[in-house]
Amino acid sequence: MKKEFILMEQVSFSFGRQQVLKKVCLSLEQGISYALIGKSGSGKTTILNLIAGFLKPDEGTVSINGTRVLGPRKETAFLFQELGLFPWQTVEEAVAMPLKLRGGKQEAKEAVYHLLEKLGLEKYGNKYPQELSGGEQQRVALARTLIGGPDIILMDEPTSALDAATKEELQGVIREEQQRRGTTLFFVTHDVEEAMWLGQYVLILKEDGEVEQIENPYYFNKDAREQLGFYEECIKLRQLLKMEKEG
Ligand SMILES: Nc1ncnc2c1ncn2[C@@H]1O[C@H](COP(=O)(O)OP(=O)(O)OP(=O)(O)O)[C@@H](O)[C@H]1O
């Protein structure tokens, strides 16, 4: 039987007097990738922050694997728009940071270079973020997200600032790593095509707080982007979002 891993039950949240989420329910399984889409301002990032434990619900509960989320947990990793790479840290130091914080030393270097190699960054170990392109910086941030073997990765529009080619490259790495590692991935995007490429399920956050879940038949299809059906599904999703805005 399928079992929920991340569970939001009747979650309401307000910033001051502005109610952002009203009785939102979500049930996500372990090892699956979920894309969250919805109109601007509907509360997608707020949901991410609640699962991350950065915000607390006013009402309702968020739990992970049966334990209530009361603050950030070390097995949850994040990749947000602001990458949080420090100008004084080399790529190697940045990627090793999560392991160092947990007390790993020599193993850290090996693990870091193993991952840098996987992400095509092995030559950049001694470079600083400002010496790298936007796409390379994103891959460094992704390496830092993956290094500790998190069981959940939360991403907020991870490719929105990238040009088309770099975006595709990073999406490829994210998709491959998620499928290989079986990490639970939950990400917010404005890009319907990205949702269909990286999400095994696409979740639509609606105005009334309802979340519609659509299974993506193209998720395990490597050639999906060469198929007309893939783009037809994207158009359908875009129309659903538009109806949501108009309705
Ligand atoms: N720190 C904050 N203080 C006050 N209001 C906030 C804060 N963060 C977000 N909001 C408001 O809460 C609402 C939901 O914001 P949120 O960022 O969750 O939406 P979103 O769906 O992710 O939007 P977008 O797609 O535009 O990124 C918005 O109206 C926003 O202005």
Contact 79, 157 (CB under 8 A): no
What is the distance in A from the centroid of ligand 1 to the CA of 43?
6
Residue 47 alpha carbon, nearest atom of ligand 1:
18
What is the distance in A from the centroid of ligand 1 to the CA of 105?
39
Same domain? 138 vs 61: no
In a domain, 82, yes or no: no
In a domain, 97, yes or no: yes
Ligand 1 pocket: which of 13, 22, 40, 45 to mutate (most atoms <8 Å of CB)? Answer: 45
**Per-residue pLDDT at 207:** 84
CA distance 136 to 107: 24
Q: In this model, does residue 192 exceed pLDDT 60? A: yes
Residue 111: domain span:
87-149
CA distance 33 to 158: 14
Residue identified by tokens 């990286």 is 198
Banded pLDDT at 99 (limits 50, 70, 90): confident
Q: Is 15 in the pocket of ligand 1 (CB under 6 A)?
A: yes
Same domain? 183 vs 241: yes
The token pair at 241 is 């979002």
> Does ipTM exceed 0.85?
yes
CATH of the domain at 30: 3.40.50.300
What is the distance in A from the centroid of ligand 1 to the CA of 1?
36
Same domain? 124 vs 240: no
- 33-38 β-sheet, strand order: 76-79, 152-156, 184-188, 33-38, 201-205, 211-215
Same domain? 212 vs 120: no
**Per-residue pLDDT at 84:** 80
Helices within the chain (DSSP H only)? 44-52, 91-101, 106-118, 134-146, 164-181, 192-198, 228-246
Helix (H) or strand (E) holding 4: strand 4-15
